[in-house]
Amino acid sequence: GAVVSQHPSRVICKSGTSVKIECRSLDFQATTMFWYRQFPKQSLMLMATSNEGSKATYEQGVEKDKFLINHASLTLSTLTVTSAHPEDSSFYICSARQGNLAGYTFGSGTRLTVV
């Protein structure tokens, strides 16, 4: 089955620094990947759609200059949280789909804590 690998699983960073999160499709090519954020006791909220070889599409209210997305290959998308602040602390999860008739597979998520 489709496997999506996400790293790191947990990161603690200081306020003002940047953090990069990687999302890889291990056994399939993903021209599109999705990035979600989940705050405690809330559901997943779509942040952006990552498109291989082109600019990401961001949801309303998500700052594209703060959450940089790079989808440079068919198997790798990265999300960089720049100038992180404590309010950016959240669970970040990526997702991809192997074909239009398959389910969406999620990475294991990254727990970001900004101190």
- 109 touching another protein, by CB under 8 A: yes
- 95 touching another protein, by CB under 8 A: yes
Helix H, strand E, coil C: the string for the chain is CCCEEEECCEEEECCCCCEEEEEEECCCCCCEEEEEEECCCCCCEEEEEEECCCCCEECCCCCCCCEEEEEEECCEEEEEECCCCHHHCEEEEEEEECCCCCCEEECCCEEEEEC
Contacting residue, 3, 63, 83, 104, with another protein by CB under 8 A: 104
Contacting residue, 5, 32, 82, 89, with another protein by CB under 8 A: 32
Among the listed ranges 12-20, 68-76, 79-87, 98-106, the one in contact with another protein (CB under 8 A) is 98-106
- 19 touching another protein, by CB under 8 A: no
Q: Which two tokens stand for residue 95?
A: 């997702």
- 21 touching another protein, by CB under 8 A: no
Please identify which residue in the block is written with the tokens 């890889």.
24
- 5 touching another protein, by CB under 8 A: no
Contact set with another protein (CB under 8 A):
6, 31-32, 34, 42-46, 49, 91, 93, 95, 97, 100-101, 103-109, 111
